[in-house]
Amino acid sequence: MIYASGQQWRDATQKRVVLFGMSGLGKTFLASMLRDRGNWFHYSVDYRIGTRYMGEYISDNFKREAMKVPFLRELLLSDSVCISSNITFENLAPLSTYLGKPGSPSRGGLPFEEYCLRQNQHREAEIASLLDTRRFVSRARDIYGINDFVCDSGGSICEVVDPDNPDDPVLSALEDGLLLVWIRGSDAHTAELVRRFDRAPKPMYYQPEFLEKAWISYRAEKGLREEQVNPDDFIRWTYARALAHRQPRYEAMARRGVTITAEEVMEVRTPDDFTTLIATAIDRKTT
């Protein structure tokens, strides 16, 4: 780790962390608080994915749908309108909408082959965005004069790295200049995330091998052909399994950094609180 003790972290003139863990446990809450209430640079991996690396895919998809409407088709062909996404740190809906869900087209689903293509685009974009982190550390300092840096990673970071490989290029690049911080949820948090997802299922990224097995197992269990799959039912069925699949991968990543709990995150109100929490986590790890 780049900080050998809690005191070294407290004394550091450049505090740099990567927050990772399941979506919904406080990564963006902490990053936004540090940005708004302290002099921290907030680098959102999901925002970078949706703007720099997948922005064209997203806007082209909007245009493809708009071309189906005669009124909009004429305006597009004459360059009379401009269609683009409005992704923000808090609203990543355009990216989620583009990823979509596999299943019956009549229910808003995508053919599985197309769905996998978009998943692969996301994987490449996420890896590139994570590797951009170190460059943004330099940009934050050189352009804005901001030394403290928080990388707000996506929940799928554990799916695009090999946590057990000490030479994984993405993790090696990150831990070389930042402290990896896992926000660990309890069983109760997991259950709440599942309930929340069940109420409003959203697209997400899956590791290819996991997705293939889930797609086959789901259809075998339900006795359905691909075009008969209810997209929302499939991703509801898959979500809890995906969380279980990710947990040991997060744990392996945390061996390269420190762990804080979702309960501890809930008590953080200020940048000083965050500094104290991370110092405590480092000392727990090193003593």
> Residue 211 to residues 17, 115, 142, 234: CA-CA distances in angstroms?
30, 11, 41, 11
pLDDT at residue 92, rounded to an integer: 86
* pTM of this structure: 0.93
Q: Specify the pLDDT at position 47.
A: 95
50 vs 116, 126, 259, CA distance in Å?
A: 17, 9, 28
Predicted local distance difference test score (pLDDT) of residue 83: 86
Residue with tokens 């091998």: 209
Residue 114 phi, psi (nearest 5)? -65, -40
Say which amino acid occupies 73. Answer: R
Give the DSSP per-residue string, 124-172: HHHHHHHHTHHHHHHHHHHHH---EEEEE--GGGGGSS-TT-TT-HHHH
Task: Give, for all 287 residues of the chain, the pLDDT tens digit.
Answer: 999 999 999 999 999 999 999 988 999 999 999 999 999 999 999 999 999 999 999 999 999 999 999 999 999 999 898 888 888 888 888 999 999 999 999 999 999 999 999 999 999 999 999 999 999 999 999 999 999 999 999 999 999 999 999 999 999 999 999 999 999 998 898 899 999 899 888 899 999 999 999 999 999 999 999 999 999 999 999 999 999 999 999 999 999 999 999 999 999 999 999 999 999 999 999 88
The pLDDT of residue 17:
98
Angstrom distance (rounded) from CA 171 to CA 245: 19
CB atoms inside a 10 Å sphere around CB 188: 10
User: According to the model, what pLDDT value does residue 137 have?
Assistant: 97
Three-state SS for 202? coil
Task: With H, G, I as helix, E, B as strand and everything else as coil, classify residue 1.
Answer: coil
Counting beta carbons within 10 angstroms of the beta carbon of residue 199, is it exposed (0 to 12), middle (13 to 18) or buried (19 or more)? exposed
Structure tokens of 240? 């809890």
Sequence ranges of the domains in the chain: 6-55+99-286
Neighbours of 60 (CB within 10 A): 12
CA-to-CA distance for 119 and 122, rounded, in angstroms? 5
Of the candidate CATH numbers 3.30.70.2860, 3.40.50.300, 3.40.50.1820, 3.40.50.720, the domain formed by 6-55+99-286 belongs to: 3.40.50.300
